[in-house]
A and B are shown apart, each in its own frame.
Chain A
């Protein structure tokens, strides 16, 4: 019951936070109009033709991606989510930057209207976060309710997360050009690609095989139905500035709260900067810092995702007034839903290792392309 109470408290707290931030929304509604007004009028590149039909976010002459293409790209993203996992978030970003031409369009304003360039970049970042973050947020609440929360650990992560998720939009919104964003996006994709690549190497595969063998051996050894393994929970034994101790199933665990604080900050900052949920980073981070069992890690990381996502999306939208094309995001969500249905069916026929290899190649291509384009102006 305690978990349910905590969940209710967090939902209500989030609602209050959201409502408070939404209060400031109206004041920023004209930010896009201001940016458009500051942009030189004309028919050439980097200019806005007021007589042109309205496109993305109602900007005259802006790219107008057909909603059906949004659904199609969403299917691809949803398929990746349900087969490979975190790489779906990257593909959502690739869609916004390259496939739908929003990146190229924003880039045309780099010299003529830096404010519109930055606003469009922020919109791409926030759209990515909407697509990935909202879905991750929904699952996170579920897992939060399922799992047990190591409160001091969750609190340390959440504090770091709030700082990272608030500071990054505040410090970078309106200041990051599309070029820089694309470059950093490329580097993150390359790093994820390296992790995926490691999984496909003989060493990565061997590690997995070993874990499976050890787990199976233990399963054989234990008596069936041995006791109530779920009867004990997390018991915090001592709180301190440098060490927090707790027991779980009679086993002692301890951690230095500074690490989850720093980890929460870094992960939330990366997530907010690139425009992803961050859930895929919290779980391995917590596992390596605390060595906690899966459901405890899931519950604790879910709290961190939940809080940092709310902070980031609403800081972007309501503190910094970043506009969003809800219609297009909605079309993409339909696609993601379809992709999530198709994914499990097709993955039966494609071995996991081949899926990962496919995405290693994609990650290397996208990562290199964006890094070179963003930092060196080289198009490949």
Chain B
């Protein structure tokens, strides 16, 4: 285990020594680290979903079924049916909420490992923020770069036209539920966009 840790450390630190400029190297290295964390997270969510997709969709469908039923009851003015359907929708929602919460751990664990490594290497690093007299710690730099890499990655996939069913998960796929910053499922966006 120690050998593996050492190997990873040696591999990662290389990206922090590319130009010899401390600030630039720190940004480049952290950018690479954030990219690795994002890719590993996406890969592990993909693997996890191969096993859970059906159960996941079943609960989400149940929540939506009762939700739509409650809306119909509301339109019909049937308060009792509305309360009943809404209660069942809430229960199904609660179930699928926690299923997703647990599944999103597959997306997040690499972030913790990345931060653990940075904590070990750069605990005292302070990147000055120009004109403020303040400085940014390693967590702040990582979070900002991680979010940038995430949105850049999405943009690149779109630009390359890779958002087809083969290249990217379908809009209503559970993968998009475990990776929340992606687009919302159409079955539910129709609820939010049709106004």
Contact with B along A110-147 (1 / 0, CB 8 A): 00000000000000000000101011101111110111
For A18, the chain B residues whose CB sits under 8 A away are 140, 143
For A280, the chain B residues whose CB sits under 8 A away are 94, 98
Number of A-B contacts (CB under 8 A): 261
- In the complex, the answer to whether A85 meets B192 with C-beta atoms within 8 Å is no
* A253: min CB distance to chain B, Å: 10
For A299, the chain B residues whose CB sits under 8 A away are 192
Partner of A217, one of B81, B88, B136, B139: B81
Q: Is the interface of B mostly helix, strand, loop or mixed?
A: helix
- In the complex, the answer to whether B192 meets A147 with C-beta atoms within 8 Å is yes
**How many Å lie between the Cα of A293 and that of B87 in the bound state?**
9
- In the complex, the answer to whether A294 meets B180 with C-beta atoms within 8 Å is no
Q: A215-B88, A230-B191 are in contact. Are A134 and B108 (CB under 8 A)?
A: yes
Q: A229-B71, A344-B52 are in contact. Are A333 and B101 (CB under 8 A)?
A: no
- In the complex, the answer to whether A226 meets B72 with C-beta atoms within 8 Å is yes
Q: A218-B84, A279-B97 are in contact. Are A248 and B192 (CB under 8 A)?
A: no
* B99 contacts A by Cβ under 8 Å: yes
Partner of A88, one of B98, B123, B132, B185: B98
- In the complex, the answer to whether A343 meets B137 with C-beta atoms within 8 Å is no
* B104 contacts A by Cβ under 8 Å: yes
- In the complex, the answer to whether A329 meets B102 with C-beta atoms within 8 Å is no
- Count residues on chain A whose CB falls below 8 Å from chain B CBs: 89
Q: A233-B195, A294-B70 are in contact. Are A23 and B135 (CB under 8 A)?
A: yes
**How many Å lie between the Cα of A317 and that of B97 in the bound state?**
26
- Residues facing A in B165-195 (CB within 8 A) are 176-181, 184-185, 188-195
- Count residues on chain B whose CB falls below 8 Å from chain A CBs: 86
**How many Å lie between the Cα of A56 and that of B73 in the bound state?**
55
For B55, the chain A residues whose CB sits under 8 A away are 344-345
- In the complex, the answer to whether B99 meets A82 with C-beta atoms within 8 Å is yes
For B48, the chain A residues whose CB sits under 8 A away are 337, 340-341
- In the complex, the answer to whether B80 meets A222 with C-beta atoms within 8 Å is no
Q: A293-B71, A294-B66, A295-B67 are in contact. Are A22 and B143 (CB under 8 A)?
A: yes
* A75: min CB distance to chain B, Å: 10
* A164: min CB distance to chain B, Å: 21
* A65 contacts B by Cβ under 8 Å: no
For A297, the chain B residues whose CB sits under 8 A away are 90
For B89, the chain A residues whose CB sits under 8 A away are 293-295
* B157 contacts A by Cβ under 8 Å: no
Contact with B along A1-32 (1 / 0, CB 8 A): 11100000001000100110011111001000
For B109, the chain A residues whose CB sits under 8 A away are 330-331, 333-334, 337
* B86 contacts A by Cβ under 8 Å: yes
- In the complex, the answer to whether A249 meets B75 with C-beta atoms within 8 Å is yes
- In the complex, the answer to whether A215 meets B66 with C-beta atoms within 8 Å is yes
**How many Å lie between the Cα of A22 and that of B147 in the bound state?**
15
Question: Which of B66, B101, B105, B110 has most chain A Cβ within 10 Å?
Answer: B101
- In the complex, the answer to whether B108 meets A218 with C-beta atoms within 8 Å is no
* A374: min CB distance to chain B, Å: 27
* B73: min CB distance to chain A, Å: 5
Q: A81-B99, A146-B184, A214-B80 are in contact. Are A23 and B136 (CB under 8 A)?
A: yes
- In the complex, the answer to whether A82 meets B102 with C-beta atoms within 8 Å is yes
* A203 contacts B by Cβ under 8 Å: no
- In the complex, the answer to whether A211 meets B84 with C-beta atoms within 8 Å is yes
- In the complex, the answer to whether B140 meets A146 with C-beta atoms within 8 Å is no
- In the complex, the answer to whether A218 meets B101 with C-beta atoms within 8 Å is no
* A156 contacts B by Cβ under 8 Å: no
- In the complex, the answer to whether A222 meets B72 with C-beta atoms within 8 Å is yes
Question: Which of B102, B115, B134, B135 has most chain A Cβ within 10 Å?
Answer: B102
**How many Å lie between the Cα of A365 and that of B77 in the bound state?**
45
Binding site for B on A (CB under 8 A): 1-3, 11, 15, 18-19, 22-26, 29, 74, 77-78, 81-82, 84-86, 88, 130, 132, 134-136, 138-143, 145-148, 208, 210-215, 217-219, 222, 226-231, 233, 248-251, 277, 279-280, 283-284, 287, 291, 293-295, 297-299, 317, 325-327, 329-331, 333-334, 336-337, 339-341, 343-345
User: Other CB < 8 Å A-B pairs besides A145-B184, A146-B192, A293-B82, 9 of them?
Assistant: A74-B105, A81-B99, A134-B104, A135-B108, A138-B179, A142-B184, A145-B180, A147-B191, A283-B94
In the assembled complex, 5 residue pairs joining A and B whose CB atoms fall closer than 8 Å, in A order, are A22-B143, A148-B192, A217-B81, A250-B74, A294-B66
